[in-house]
């Protein structure tokens, strides 16, 4: 069973490609995350959890869901991370999570994909060429990982090694960073909004409420900054302060890349 969360399509792409090669089911976790639905998930095949990296870690709402959801059937669990190039301490977190659930940790794999985070100015925007290059390289990497999972072999050296110093830096750093940087105050919506409610329906934390015209109202102080609302708006009506107006939007689907699954 392939389980995934994806805000802008990178992880969905990898998850679906894996599912097709493994001839396995693919479960989008968005609804479960939104509803805090912790009902059991059963699979005869190994569990493969595919998630994006947020601030060097597995996003807290994913940890919460996996920790509280009984996984029944197969005892093996794999993790697949998509990131902009640095998966931080995710594989260590995954190993710990598997152990706590009483499952066999079978390893993690990293995919370097286009970066979707546009609410700060730290990184330069990627060129179209670089975006397509990253997707192509990742695509070529999929069959090897699918084969190992199919044979229920361990994934060795397919994710970065986590050094102790990374854990010592990340564990205190990430909560501080998220508290300072992941407020919702700077989100705004322009007159371009057509009231389609897509942003409200996609928000994994249900932070967005649609007003009577269907326009978004951010109803909390903080959020996951997953970028789903801002990146998936069909008319680019959402902005984040003065950072995003000059920036191009990114979703995997926008690139119209359809790879033919090769079983």
Ligand X SMILES: Cc1cc2nc3c(=O)[nH]c(=O)nc-3n(C[C@H](O)[C@H](O)[C@H](O)COP(=O)(O)O)c2cc1C
Using CB under 6 A, list all residues that contact ligand X: 6-11, 52-56, 82-86, 88, 113, 115-117, 225-227, 252
Interacting partner of 197 out of ligand X, ligand SF4, none (Cβ under 5 to 8 A depending on kind) = ligand SF4
Is 189 a binding residue for ligand SF4 by CB under 6 A? The answer is yes
Is 51 a binding residue for ligand SF4 by CB under 6 A? The answer is no
| DSSP H or E segment with residue 164 | helix 164-181
Closest approach of Cβ 63 to ligand SF4, in Å? 15
Q: Which of 195, 255, 257, 259 binds ligand SF4 (CB under 6 A)?
A: 195
Closest approach of Cβ 7 to ligand X, in Å? 4
72/219 with CB nearer ligand SF4 = 219
Task: Show the binding pattern over residues 167-186: x = contacts ligand SF4 (CB under 6 A), - = does not.
Answer: -----------------x--
Interacting partner of 229 out of ligand X, ligand SF4, none (Cβ under 5 to 8 A depending on kind) = ligand SF4
Is 224 a binding residue for ligand SF4 by CB under 6 A? The answer is yes
Is 235 a binding residue for ligand SF4 by CB under 6 A? The answer is yes
Closest CA to 109 of 66, 48, 37, 65: 48
Interacting partner of 194 out of ligand X, ligand SF4, none (Cβ under 5 to 8 A depending on kind) = ligand SF4
140/213 with CB nearer ligand X = 140
What is the β-pairing status of strands 208-210 and 216-218?
Answer: antiparallel
Reduced to 3 states (helix: H, G, I; strand: E, B; else coil), residue 148 is helix
Interacting partner of 3 out of ligand X, ligand SF4, none (Cβ under 5 to 8 A depending on kind) = none
Binding-site ranges for ligand SF4 (CB under 6 A): 184, 189, 193-199, 202-205, 207-208, 214-216, 218, 223-229, 233-235, 237-238
């Amino acid at each position: 069973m392939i389980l995934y969360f994806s805000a802008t399509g990178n992880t969905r792409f990898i998850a679906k490609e894996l599912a097709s090669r493994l001839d396995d089911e693919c479960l989008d976790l968005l609804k479960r995350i939104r509803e805090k639905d912790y009902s059991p998930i059963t699979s005869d095949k190994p569990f493969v959890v595919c998630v994006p990296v947020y601030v060097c870690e597995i996003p807290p709402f994913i940890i919460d869901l996996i920790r509280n959801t009984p996984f029944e059937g197969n005892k093996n669990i794999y993790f697949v991370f998509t990131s902009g190039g640095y998966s931080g301490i995710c594989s260590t977190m995954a190993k710990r999570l598997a152990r706590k659930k009483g499952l066999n940790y079978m390893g993690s794999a990293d995919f370097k994909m286009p970066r979707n985070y546009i609410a700060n100015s730290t990184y330069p925007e990627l060129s179209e060429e670089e975006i397509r290059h990253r997707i192509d390289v990742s695509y070529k990497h999929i069959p090897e990982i699918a084969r190992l999972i199919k044979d229920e072999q361990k994934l060795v050296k397919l994710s970065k090694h986590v050094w102790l110093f990374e854990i010592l830096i990340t564990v205190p750093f990430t909560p501080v960073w998220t508290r300072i940087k992941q407020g919702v105050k700077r989100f705004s919506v322009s007159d371009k909004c057509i009231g389609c409610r897509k942003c409200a329906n996609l928000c994994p934390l249900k932070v967005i409420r649609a007003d009577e015209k269907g326009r978004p109202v951010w109803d909390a102080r903080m959020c996951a900054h997953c970028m789903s609302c801002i990146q998936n708006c069909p008319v680019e009506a959402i902005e984040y302060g003065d950072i995003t107006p000059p920036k191009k939007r990114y979703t995997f689907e926008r690139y119209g890349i359809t790879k033919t699954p090769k079983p």
